[in-house]
Amino acid sequence: MSKIKNSSTDIHNYLLLEYRKCVMKIEMEIFKARQTRMLNKVQRYFNSTPIRNAFARWMVNALYENTFYTISHLVKEMHTNRQTISSIINECENEGYIIVERKGKTVSCQASQILLDKMIDYCKWRKDITELTVGKAYNDLVQFEKWMSKEFNV
């Protein structure tokens, strides 16, 4: 019977390194996709700047949560300013990417079906690259950490 050469710390460090490498790979793939996934008008708009890209996520989340986000909420959540959010809302409303509700001076919005459909496509792509990169490394790391957190009776 051969001896185990690596300590649990060595194994944990190896699994952490493999996970981190996979995270970097997925982040690089996402960056490349934002530069190249310009197949249609929706992708070109939301991949054109980081704030527009993030705005799409907030809009779809609002739809999933069955709510409308106000400009004030978006400004606070996204750490930006009213002018930027107002401009994006106007552009997106004109293109039909979002649904806007106006009640007095309050403007609220959420994703339209067009944006939702494109985000569903994105989530499928994201799921595929996650499975191919970070999925296994993440599961290996979590499983090892679970094993190491248990007390074994021998």
Quickly list DSSP for the chain. -PPP-S-HHHHHHHHHHHHHHHHHHHHHHHHHHHHH--SSHHHHHHTSSHHHHHHHHHHHHHHHTT--EEHHHHHHHHT--HHHHHHHHHHHHHHTSEEEEEETTEEEEEE-HHHHHHHHHHHHHHHHHHIIIIIHHHHHHHHHHHHHHSPPP-
What is the rounded average pLDDT of the residues 76-99?
A: 98
Q: Where does the pLDDT of residue 4 fall: very low under 50, low under 70, confident under 90, or very high at 90 and above? A: low
What is the rounded average pLDDT of the residues 97-116?
A: 97
pLDDT greater than 80 at residue 54:
yes
pLDDT greater than 80 at residue 49:
yes
pLDDT greater than 60 at residue 109:
yes
Q: Where does the pLDDT of residue 152 fall: very low under 50, low under 70, confident under 90, or very high at 90 and above? A: low
> What percent of the chain lies above the pLDDT cut of 90?
53
pLDDT greater than 70 at residue 3:
no
Q: Is the pTM of this model over 0.75?
A: yes
What is the rounded average pLDDT of the residues 119-142?
A: 86
Domain 8-142 in this protein, CATH class = mainly alpha
